[in-house]
Structure 1
Amino acid sequence: MRFHAAFARLAFCSAPRPSLPTPFAPFAQTSRTARAIRLSALLAFPALYGEAHATIAMLQPAREAAANQPLQITILYSADDAKPLTITVPPTLKMSLTSGEQAPQPLDLVREPGVPDTLHLRPGQFLKVRFSAPWPASARGQVRLDPVGFDASPALVVINRGKEQDAVAQAEHAETQATTPAQVATAAAVVAGPTGDAISPPGDSLSSTGRGLFSHLSYYEPMYIAAGRNGDTNARLQLSFKYRIRIPDDLRSKSLVDNLYFAYTQTSIWDLSADSRPFRDTTYSPQLFYYVPDTGWRSPFFTRMGFSAGIAHESNGKAGTDSRSINMPFIRPTWEFGDLTANHLTVSPKIYYYLGTSNNPDIADYRGYVDLLVKYGSPDGWQLATTVRKGTKHWYGSVDTQFTYPLAKVLGSAWGGYIWVGYFNGYGEDLLDYNNRQHWIARIGYSISR
């Protein structure tokens, strides 16, 4: 995808350009013009030449930037074809930079030397003016740049603080200056790296779909509430998130510390038939694990492989004979097959072992040692996800199936979340009754993520 974007930029660069008088010719190089984000406003200037209009555009900066190189924003001024135009260029450009959970901070970019305060444009002529400033030391990972004082779309840039940042910066520059498809492909390969573009790191194949509130926080297991009836009426409610403990200098890092997560999932069975409608049981599950959504391993048999490994705790927070508690070290490879932007298959077995099962020593008889998750669907369409467990004795086990469909496709784009339809049959929907088979039940509800 990066190659196609870069090649489009190359094709644009080969188009004829307006001739410009010196000393402004250096500002007219259009290698980044295909990155332009057009402003919606047209500014009118009552100049000596009569009324004329200028279009102002902010060119998109490099998608990945080296931390030791200054942030550079280019503004493109262009005149319409009516009359000559005089434009006043400000000495600084104000931006707002948002990084992670930090509050937005102001950033003043200084106009490059040698550019006069006033530019004179002939009809149809355009000029580029660059503004720059050092990256703040606190800016890490993907940052958002919002223009202040003029109407333009924000820009997203990934800051690379890794050892290879100089090579990345040189490759970005080479890509924008490329004049042949071979040069574009070579530069794009350096920027993209071995396991994907840093601005678009591998998707989170294990977790539910959605963007977290902060850069460290994201969804983990699906989050939903749904109700159904079979003998009695009950609801199932689940909350889940994961937190990336450290944002790495390079978002493609595979090191242990850079990919360490804390996760928490809480699942409750809510008895809506009983008096006072109590929660029948709640499972609390904190986890600590290593996780990469893309290991970089490639095969003709699968599109992408992810991997996680860690330890999980599950308990229902009760005392006495109702107490349930287990600890489970686990590993979880995840394979994805097909086009990840369309309907595709995901297979993810979670293999674990039990530690500390004094309250429920026979849990493996009903739950086994593997959770096999199989998903099929597309990111923006329907999805069917099924988790199968097989106990070590008899035919004990369970089937948990969840179908989701974007609510926006039913009620309009203003709506978020998903329609959720679930089916459960077998043992262990909650910890309290892991060894008692409940009625199969189908539920319908709403999910924030899937």
Structure 2
Amino acid sequence: MPFVAISLAFPTALFDRFTPCSLARHRRASGYRKRGGPARALAALALLSTVCGEASATVSMLQPARIAAANEPLQITLLYAADDGTALTVTVPQTLRVNLSGGEQSPRPLELAREAGVPTTLRLRPGQFRKVRFTAPWPESARGEVRIDPIGFDASPALVVINRGPEQDAIAQAERNESKASTPAQAAATAAALDGPTGDAISPPGDSLSTTGRGVFAHVSYYEPMYIAFGHNGDTNARLQLSFKYRLRIPDDLRSKSFTDNLYFAYTQTSIWDLSAESRPFRDTTYSPQLFYYVPDTGWRSPFFTRMGFAAGIAHESNGKGGDDSRSINMPFIRPTWEFGDLAANHLTVSPKIYYYVGTKNNPDIAAYRGYVDLLVKYGSPDGWQLATTLRKGTKHWYGSVDTQFTYPLAKLLGSAWGGYLWAGYFNGYGEDLLDYNNRQHWIARIGYSIAR
């Protein structure tokens, strides 16, 4: 199984505070004796790093494998390092306690045993480090995405997806072999390719909501981009879009390709908001529910692409109006998606959505303006800028449209506390909304904020 190359290091000051002498002084000063909870918490800290003198060891917890087989034990690795230029003596606990939680389950404690053959006391030379592993079987109640919270020491929680499918052993072994045969950089790239840049093992890049848990909201993830943006070209207007998808059933085998395990319902709503009019009305809104089969990775491999996804289903679009302004179409569709290059860095995505119209009574000539294919081409990285363009070509003349969206993470512009993306868009052509599908929008540029891209 691949390991994430970044470790989560504890502050050295934490262990300076709990040397044998300072721990004793602290306990005497605070009045702690053998009174239970608080003393046990301090003792756990002391067990993690008991250091003589002024020097202290840095202790890090390595991120467990992102995907774990249910019949293999949970393994957590602590890394002890003497990085102060002084020889150290460290006491290692016999057990390590964590809390497991996931979905709608409340946290449950789990105790991991230290690996056999590791002495209680480690002697580290200056610059030397030592890995110590702790293991325990997964509880039967652990399902889907599980959060691991260490007890008694300061470390960030870890997320592990438990695979209970019939092919879990082969998958786990293949990932372990690939991780052992690669450099740390290659292992990180492999993990990104397997799990997706967001860490979601069954969702494509761009999905930010987990679809691997067991709670109701764990079935929900982003679908189309979500944004609000403002522009001016003769009049001032805004374009905003909301879009989610809901996975009807989450299987135990997260790599399942069966129909019922990958069936989704999605809803997208796109509005054009006229801010120049006196009452600032919404000029038109397109409502689009969809039902479709979808896998982000079909498993097909080729020297020409890195990953191939596939979707097929039926979509409905209407603007909710009556009379001459009524617009409504139904579209059975298929959508293959090919990704080229390193999925953890800048890479190319090509995704044609091929569809056919059923029920176009109120707009029978819509194919003349938008055609039968939406060609989406994207280039960028999961944690950097991205340029996405959707092209349409109508069946008559040069009717069609160009819809381009550029996004950049706000965290890189304003600091890590910010979420979402700076959004800039350009549209030129026919069919930005259903009401005006046969009216030409010469061009309009907008700028705004995006939640998902």
Query: 2:136 maps to what in 1?
Result: 132
The answer to whether the Cα contact below 8 Å between 2:61 and 2:78 also exists between their aligned partners in 1 is yes
Matches within 5 A, 1:42-441: 42=15, 43-46=18-21, 56-58=59-61, 60-73=63-76, 87=91, 89=93, 93-99=96-102, 101-109=103-111, 111=113, 119-120=120-121, 128=132, 130=134, 132-140=136-144, 142-168=145-171, 196=194, 201=201, 204=204, 209-212=206-209, 215-441=218-444
Cα displacement (A) at 1:152 = 1.7
Q: Percent identity?
A: 68
Deviation of 1:368 after TM superposition, in Å, equals: 1.4
Q: 1:146 to 1:249 in 2, by over 3 A?
A: same
Q: Output one character per residue of 1:341-383: Cα deviation in whole Å (capped at 9) or x when no partner.
A: 3333222111111112222222212221111112222333332
**Structure 2 residues not aligned, in runs of 5+:** 25-49, 211-216
Structure 2 contact 77–132 (Cα < 8 Å) conserved? yes
Report how far residue 84 of structure 1 moved: 5.6
Residue identity in the other structure for 2:107: Q
* Aligned partners of 2:220 and 2:246 also within 8 Å: yes
Distance 1:279 1:173, change over 3 A: closer
Contact 1:37 1:153 (C-alpha < 8 Å) held by counterparts: yes
The 2-side partners of 1:160 and 1:258 are apart by 14
Give the distance between the partners of 1:344 and 1:281, measured in 2 at CA: 35
* Matched-pair contact (CA < 8 Å) for 1:62–1:172: no
AA at the equivalent of 1:39: F
Q: Distance in 1 between matches of 2:416 and 2:116?
A: 48
Contact 1:70–1:135 (8 Å) recurs in 2: no
Summarize the Cα distance change of 1:166–1:436 in structure 2 as closer, same or farther, 3 Å threshold. closer
Distance (Å, rounded) in 2 between the aligned partners of 1:418 and 1:174: 37
* Cα distance in 2, alignment partners of residues 64 and 448 from structure 1: 27
Q: Distance in 2 between matches of 1:78 and 1:405?
A: 38
8 Å contact kept, 1:108–1:133: no
- Please give the root-mean-square deviation of Cα atoms over the aligned residues, in Å: 3.8
Question: How far does residue 55 in structure 1 lie from its aligned partner after superposition?
Answer: 5.4
| CA shift in 2, pair 1:93/1:357, >3 Å | same
Mapped partners of 2:51, 2:284: distance in 1: 79
Report the Cα distance in structure 2 between the residues aligned to 1:411 and 1:338, rounded to whole angstroms.
Answer: 29
Distance 2:316 2:282 in 1: 20
Q: Relative to 1, partners in 2 of residues 1:173 and 1:320: Cα closer, same or farther, differing over 3 Å? A: closer
SS at match of 2:20: strand
Deviations 1:64-112, CA, capped at 9 Å, x for gaps = 3221344344556788956766x5847x64323232x325422231546
1:210 Cα deviation from its structure 2 partner? 4.8
C-alpha distance in 2, partners of 1:161/1:397?
A: 47
Closer, same or farther: CA 113–279 of 1 in aligned 2, 3 Å: closer
Cα deviation for residue 420 of structure 1 reads 1.6
Residue identity in the other structure for 2:111:
L
SS of the residue 2:298 aligns to? coil
Give, in angstroms, the shift of residue 258 of structure 1.
2.0
- Letter of the structure 2 residue corresponding to residue 105 of structure 1: P
Unaligned residue ranges in structure 1 (runs of 5+): 7-33
Following the alignment from structure 1 to structure 2, what is the Cα–Cα distance between the partners of residues 369 and 290? 20
1:265-305 alpha-carbon deviations (Å, 9 max, x no partner): 11000000111101011111111111122222233333322
1:147-167 Cα shifts (integer Å, max 9, x gaps): 122112322322120112344
Equivalent-residue separation in structure 1 for 2:116 and 2:353 (angstroms): 62
CA contact (8 A) 1:271 1:277 kept: yes
* CA 278–351 in structure 1, closer or farther in 2 if over 3 Å, else same: same
- Separation in 1, partners of 2:51, 2:387: 65
TM-score by length of 2: 0.76
Work out the CA distance in 2 between the residues paired with 1:211 and 1:258. 20
Supply the distance in 1 between the matched residues of 2:176 and 2:233 (Cα, whole angstroms).
64
Question: Judging changes above 3 Å, is the alpha-carbon distance between structure 1 residues 300 and 113 closer, same or farther for their aligned structure 2 residues?
Answer: closer
1:39 maps onto 2:39 in alignment: no
